[in-house]
């Protein structure tokens, strides 16, 4: 067989974070999470199952790259479901800085899951594409859908997947991604989560509080309450990073620039410009804001950190096949 399919998936920003796994192999999370898919960052992945190949082959941004264990998990699962053994050629173009806390793995594995399943002749539901993407990256479960997306933690492979919460939100929300460092992070998300779950004394409280944050942020989305949405997202992110600082040994993804941006956001709020921070596993800060204040916030942050790159994003779509 030799069928070529290209899929595109966008990154997402978790407003209520997932941090910690029940099952490392299947990537079953310790808590449910909720995200917003973004339009600016995305991955295009092309998959061909080609009997002329002797092994799977992977290129990233045009460069031949070793096939990771995570990619193999997804591709092997596709082969099992399709009843084939054919090697795959995977070509991925990433319009996201890799491993910098901007969810490049989310868009990458959502695109891979959709492209590979279609290339193998499968016609999976989006729910099953979400389950498949989860085997490569937990956050990829959510990038299968657009808008606000909930990843229901579940208990095993059958019930841990994402569902759209509000796929086409019609309200004013923007995300500014302030990139102060796009280099790979020193501690991977996987390693960070593992350390936190096993050593942070605050972890049980995190699981309990995150369930409450899920209720609060859903209420905010339903009510179009930007203030409640922003406050909940910022508080949830700070609690996640506090877990890291309480782990043994402690670690932090923050850099001095990260702290400066957080201070700037607090100052902007004092000046009457409503904005909120959220930070994934990396030093780069995402700022939730609205159209009327977006340009002022960009100029203010750029004035403080002139070498930073600031990308403006809004609500993004779900994963699609590229015709």
In the predicted structure, residue 101 carries a pLDDT above the cut 70: no
Q: Tens digit of pLDDT for each residue in 21-32?
A: 999 999 999 999
pLDDT value of residue 104 = 85
Instruction: Give the residue, 147 or 183, on which the prediction is more confident.
Output: 147
pLDDT value of residue 71 = 98
| Residue 166 main-chain phi, psi, to 5 deg | -150, 95
Instruction: Give the residue, 101 or 186, on which the prediction is more confident.
Output: 186
In the predicted structure, residue 5 carries a pLDDT above the cut 70: yes
In the predicted structure, residue 323 carries a pLDDT above the cut 80: no
CA-closest candidate to residue 131, choices 161, 163, 164: 161
| Residue 267 main-chain phi, psi, to 5 deg | -70, -40
Average pLDDT of span 271-285: 96
CB atoms within 10 A of CB 270: 8
Instruction: Give the residue, 161 or 104, on which the prediction is more confident.
Output: 161
Q: How far is C-alpha 14 from the chain's CA centre?
A: 6
**pTM assigned to the model:** 0.95
CB atoms within 10 A of CB 199: 14
Separation CA 275–CA 289 (nearest Å): 5
Ranges of each domain in the chain:
4-170, 174-313
With respect to CATH, is domain 4-170 assigned 3.30.230.10? yes
Separation CA 189–CA 243 (nearest Å): 13
pLDDT value of residue 186 = 86
145 and 167 in contact (C-beta within 8 Å)?
yes
pLDDT value of residue 181 = 86
In the predicted structure, residue 89 carries a pLDDT above the cut 80: yes
pLDDT value of residue 96 = 81
79 and 158 in contact (C-beta within 8 Å)?
no
Quick one: CA torsion of 142, 146, 150, 155, rounded to 10 degrees? -40
Q: Tens digit of pLDDT for each residue in 192-209?
A: 999 999 999 999 999 999
Q: How far is C-alpha 302 from the chain's CA centre?
A: 25
With respect to CATH, is domain 174-313 assigned 1.10.3720.10? no
- Whole-number percent of the chain with pLDDT over 90: 90
pLDDT value of residue 273 = 98
Please state which of the ranges 75-79, 116-120, 281-285 shows the lowest mean pLDDT: 281-285
CA-closest candidate to residue 216, choices 236, 234, 232: 232
Q: Tens digit of pLDDT for each residue in 152-170?
A: 999 999 999 999 999 999 9
Q: Nearest 5 degrees, angle CA 60-CA 143-CA 229?
A: 130
pLDDT value of residue 102 = 66
Q: Which residues in 128-149 are b (16+ Cβ under 10 Å) and which e?
A: bbbbbbbbbbbbbbbbbbbbbb
- Using H for helix, E for strand and C for coil, what is the string for 153-202? CCCCCCCCEEEEEECCCCCCCEEEEEECCCCCCCCCHHHHHHHHHHHCCC
9 and 42 in contact (C-beta within 8 Å)?
yes
Average pLDDT of span 70-80: 98
Do the two domains 4-170 and 174-313 of this chain adopt the same fold?
Answer: no
């Amino acid at each position: 067989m030799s069928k070529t399919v290209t899929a595109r998936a966008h990154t997402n920003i978790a407003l209520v974070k997932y941090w910690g796994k029940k099952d490392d192999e299947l990537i079953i999370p310790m808590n449910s999470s909720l995200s917003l898919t973004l339009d600016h960052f995305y991955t295009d992945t092309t998959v061909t199952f080609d009997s002329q190949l002797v092994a799977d082959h992977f290129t990233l941004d045009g460069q031949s790259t070793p096939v990771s264990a995570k990619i193999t998990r997804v591709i092997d699962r596709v082969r099992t479901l399709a009843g084939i053994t054919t090697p795959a050629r995977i070509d991925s173009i990433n319009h996201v800085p890799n491993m910098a806390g901007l969810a490049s793995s989310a868009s990458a594995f959502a695109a891979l899951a959709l492209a590979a399943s279609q290339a193998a002749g499968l016609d999976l539901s989006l729910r099953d594409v979400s389950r498949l993407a989860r085997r490569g990256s937990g956050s990829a479960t959510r990038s299968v859908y657009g808008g606000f997306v909930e990843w229901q933690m579940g208990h095993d492979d059958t019930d841990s997947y994402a569902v759209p919460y509000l796929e086409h939100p019609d309200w004013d929300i923007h995300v500014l991604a302030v990139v102060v460092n796009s280099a790979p992070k020193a501690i991977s998300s996987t390693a960070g989560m593992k350390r936190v779950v096993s050593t942070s004394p605050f972890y049980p409280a995190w699981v309990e509080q995150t369930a409450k944050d899920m209720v609060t942020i859903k209420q905010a989305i339903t009510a179009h309450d930007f203030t409640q949405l922003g406050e909940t997202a910022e508080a949830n992110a700070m609690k996640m990073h506090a877990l890291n600082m309480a782990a043994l040994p402690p670690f932090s993804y923050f850099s001095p620039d990260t702290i400066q941006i957080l201070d700037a956001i607090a100052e902007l709020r004092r000046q009457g410009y409503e904005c909120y921070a959220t930070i994934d596993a990396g030093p780069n800060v995402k700022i939730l804001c609205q159209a009327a204040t977006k340009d002022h916030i960009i100029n203010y942050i750029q004035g403080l950190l002139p070498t930073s790159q600031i990308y403006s994003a809004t609500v993004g779509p779900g994963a699609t096949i590229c015709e």
